[in-house]
Amino acid sequence: MKFNKAPPQMVETFAAVVPGPPVVQRPMFGYPSVCVNGNMFAGLFKDSMILRLPEDLRAELIAVGAEPFAPMPGRVMREYVTVPESILSNRAKLAAWIAKSQEFAEALPPKEKRKRAAKTAGSRKKIRQPGKNT
């Protein structure tokens, strides 16, 4: 599935409020995102900024216009909400909400890095070429 790029203004706003170490920036679905201990806690998706928050803070943000984050119709990511315009337009409020999101992610167990399976000679799929019997 191909996604549209995030608006440059949104990317600029996100970059301005992203905290420093131990936060790690990395792309998620081709959009900027930030993680701590391997857990994503904020990012961009299309023309929205999303935050990962505990239930009580999600409810608080929903009360001022946030919506549950659904990257695809019917696929709600339960701990994430979109940031409403009233928060996006105020960098001090936005930075405070990102700090709350970071705090939540720091309390989660660290994600372990996945080990990639070693490729073996037998694991590669042979491609048959027309006219050759193998």
Q: What is the DSSP annotation of 86-114? A: HHHT-HHHHHHHHHHHHHHHHHSPPPPPP
Task: State which amino acid sits at residue 8.
Answer: P
Banded pLDDT at 29 (limits 50, 70, 90):
confident
Query: Model pTM greater than 0.95?
Result: no
Contact assessment for residue 36 and residue 87, using Cβ atoms and an 8 Å cutoff: no
Joined together, the tokens standing for residue 73 give 């119709």
56: enclosing H helix or E strand: helix 55-63
Comparing CA positions, the residue from 33, 35, 36 lying closest to residue 11 is 33
Domains of the chain in start order, with CATH, are: 8-109 (3.30.1460.30)
pLDDT at residue 87 is higher than 60: yes
Percent of the chain with pLDDT over 90: 72
For position 104, what pLDDT does the model report?
98
